[in-house]
């Protein structure tokens, strides 16, 4: 709907950066997609100093892994965590800014984050202006394989219909 309001029936429209910034609902959809399916499901870090966690001393220099995949599905931070609800990011004020980290966080976050989001918006905008995307029938259940990046072992299937 957002695309139609912005471009009408002009599937070959060339959006401006300003128009991409105005695609608020597409922003929400991208955030929710990255919450459920972060491209990097695990982040590795080395502790810069000693730290106590849950009564255990973790020494400086220790390598730790943080599961963004699990954290993004934690019901303490995301009610109904397995449901796709883009609106959860509308005016969202997360209680902890580090619970949603599809591009990492802090001094080692992804420097290409804004560029990546702009690329996704550009690509999705073009696709959505020309095609209608629907769930595959029968329903296709993803078999996720968390490797260095998150992949589906059995592909990703959707139904596509050209817009007239």
- Rounded-to-integer distance, Cα 92 and Cα 72, Å: 14
Peptide bond into 85 cis (omega under 30): no
- Residue by residue, DSSP assigns 111-126 as TTHHHHHHHHHHHHHH
Phi/psi of residue 152, each to 5°? Answer: -105, 125
- Rounded-to-integer distance, Cα 83 and Cα 99, Å: 17
The answer to whether the annotation marks 74 as part of a ligand binding site is no
Query: Which segments within the chain are labelled E, that is strand?
Result: 42-46, 51-53, 56-58, 63-67, 131-135, 144-146, 150-152, 158-162
Phi/psi of residue 14, each to 5°? Answer: -110, 100
* Alpha carbons within 13 A on the beta-carbon side of 106: 6
Annotation: binding site: 110
Annotation: binding site for heme: 110
């Amino acid at each position: 709907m957002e695309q139609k309001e912005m471009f009408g029936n002009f599937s070959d429209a060339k959006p401006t950066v300003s128009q991409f910034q105005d695609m608020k609902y597409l922003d929400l959809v991208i955030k929710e997609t990255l919450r459920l399916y972060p491209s990097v499901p695990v982040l590795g870090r080395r502790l810069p100093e000693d730290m106590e966690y849950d009564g255990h001393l973790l020494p400086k220099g220790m390598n730790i892994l943080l599961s963004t995949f699990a954290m993004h599905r934690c019901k303490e931070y995301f009610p109904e965590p397995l449901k796709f609800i883009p609106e959860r990011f509308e005016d969202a004020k997360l209680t902890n800014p580090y619970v949603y980290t599809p591009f990492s966080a802090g001094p080692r976050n992804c420097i290409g984050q804004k560029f990546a989001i702009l690329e996704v918006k550009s690509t999705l905008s073009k696709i959505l202006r020309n095609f209608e995307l629907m769930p595959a029938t029968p329903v296709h259940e993803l078999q996720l394989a968390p490797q260095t990046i998150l992949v589906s072992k059995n592909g990703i299937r959707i139904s596509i219909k050209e817009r007239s």
